[in-house]
Structure 1
């Protein structure tokens, strides 16, 4: 596997949206990324439960990092998420993105979101297009 270019690592680490939500990419290699998020009161919806968009954003951040990890621009074509269990304020979530298919200008990624006990709380899948 190829190494992740330093410029790509810097771009991933400086993502302003991730910083706003508290998402941190903690591991990055070619075709793979791990991101973490601590669920806080600021991530609650009007029901008083953590917003599904926060879980989605965590998975999407891992997906973006993994799909752009080789230094080539990767643009999302489609994504979907299945919420499997609830999360609570105080939970620490980890999203692990793995490349499952790479052919020509497209790639496919699966992201598993788990709580600190290792229980899967969501599954995200995404496809990208590389225009370069």
Structure 2
């Protein structure tokens, strides 16, 4: 599941592993996660299911927003689908912190395909709990 050493939270992330996600970068406030679209990830129109694209973006968001020793969770997220993809596409989600104040944060994730075209734009809102990792 990784191109870098996995943090404990990702060692237990069975959903991301099932999707075959590869963590390319894992830095505080920024991450890059990729995966290849399989046939079982497509919808009835044989294009990549929107939920799969969302899941990839959400994983990159989770890595980026868990920047310290306290568990951070999603408070909400929105996605805009820009381009459809098909089986064999290599999708990459690049998450970046936009702001973080107190327990709240905002992170943007751009999902691109192997040609560099934007597939989706995701904005996640985070809430840091008081629970340690």
Aligned partners of 1:124, 1:39: CA distance in 2, in Å? 18
Secondary structure of 1:74 counterpart: strand
Deviation per CA, 1:37-83: give whole Å up to 9, x if none. Answer: 10010101122221111100000000011111323211111100000
Q: Deviations over 1:90-124 (max 9, x none)?
A: 11010000000010110100000001111111000
TM-score, normalised to structure 1, is 0.89
Q: Matches of 1:75 and 1:91 in 2, distance apart?
A: 29
Give the RMSD, CA atoms, in angstroms.
1.5
Alpha-carbon separation, structure 1, partners of 2:49 and 2:73: 25
SS in 1 for 2:54: helix
- What does 1:1-132 correspond to in 2, within 5 Å? 9-132=7-130
Pick the structure with more strand per residue: 2
d(CA) in 2 for partners of 1:72 and 1:126?
18
Give structure 1 stretches of 5+ with no counterpart. 1-5
| Alpha-carbon shift at residue 84 of structure 1 (Å) | 0.4
Conserved? CA contact 1:13–1:25, under 8 Å = no
TM-score (norm 2): 0.89
Equivalent pairs counted in the alignment come to 126
Q: Distance in 1 between matches of 2:117 and 2:42?
A: 21
